[in-house]
Amino acid sequence: MKIVILGGSGDMGAATVRDLLEFTDVQQVTIAARNARPAEKLSRAIGDPRLAVQKVDAASHTDLVRIMKKHDVVAGALGPFYLWERPLVEAALAAGVDYVSICDDHDAVQNVLALDQAAAKKGQKILTGLGWTPGITSILARKGYDELDNTDNIRIYWAGSIGDSRGLAVILHTLHIFTGKVTSFQNGRFVEIWAGSGKESVDFPAPLGKITTFHLGHPEPVTLPRYLTGIKGVTLKGGLAENYLHYLAKLMVMFGLTSTPFGKQKLGELMKKMLPFFPTKKDRNFSGARVDIEGTRNGKKIQVSYAVVDRMRRLTGIPLSVGAYMMGQGKIKRCGVFGPEAKGAIDPGIFLQELARRGIKIEHRETLL
- On the question of a cis peptide bond just before residue 279, with omega within 30 degrees of 0, the verdict is no
Q: What is the pLDDT of residues 225-249, one digit of tens each?
A: 999 999 999 999 999 888 777 777 7
230 or 176, higher pLDDT: 230
pTM summary value: 0.94
Q: What is the mean pLDDT of residues 35-43?
A: 92
Cβ–Cβ under 8 Å, residues 241 and 221: no
**Residues forming a β-bridge with 160:** 240
Distance of alpha carbon 309 from the chain centroid: 15
Give the closest residue to 101 by CA, choosing from 308, 317, 263. Answer: 317
Tens digit of each residue's pLDDT (9 = 90 or more) over 177-209 = 888 999 999 999 999 999 999 999 999 999 999
Closest residue by Cα to residue 175 from 159, 202, 195, 160: 195
Q: What pLDDT shows up at residue 271?
A: 76
Q: Where are the domains of the chain?
A: 2-131+313-361, 136-311
Tell which residue, 299, 301, 283, 274, has the closest CA to residue 367: 301
Q: Which amino acid is at 261?
A: P
Report yes or no: 303 and 292 within 8 Å, Cβ to Cβ: yes
Burial classification of residue 54, based on how many CB atoms lie within 10 Å of its CB (0-12 exposed, 13-18 middle, 19 or more buried): middle
> In the prediction, which pLDDT does 163 show?
79
The mean of the pLDDT values for the chain is 93
Assess whether pLDDT exceeds 90 at residue 285.
Answer: no
Closest CA to 312 of 164, 170, 105, 133: 164
- Residue 118's alpha-carbon distances to 87, 91, 112, 222, in angstroms, are 15, 13, 11, 20
- Assign domain 136-311 to a CATH class: alpha beta
Q: What is the spatial distance between Cα 131 and Cα 218, in angstroms, rounded to a whole number?
A: 12
- Higher-confidence residue of 174 and 111: namely 111
What's the CATH class of domain 2-131+313-361?
A: alpha beta
Q: What's the pLDDT score for residue 278?
A: 74
Residue 167 confidence class, pLDDT cut points 50, 70, 90: low
Q: How many residues does the chain have?
A: 369
Residues 74-85 have a mean pLDDT of 95
Q: What is the mean pLDDT of residues 30-40?
A: 92
Residue 152's alpha-carbon distances to 216, 218, 304, in angstroms, are 21, 20, 12
Q: Output the pLDDT for position 166.
A: 64
State what percent of residues in the chain have pLDDT above 70. Answer: 98
CB 334 within 8 A of CB 342: yes
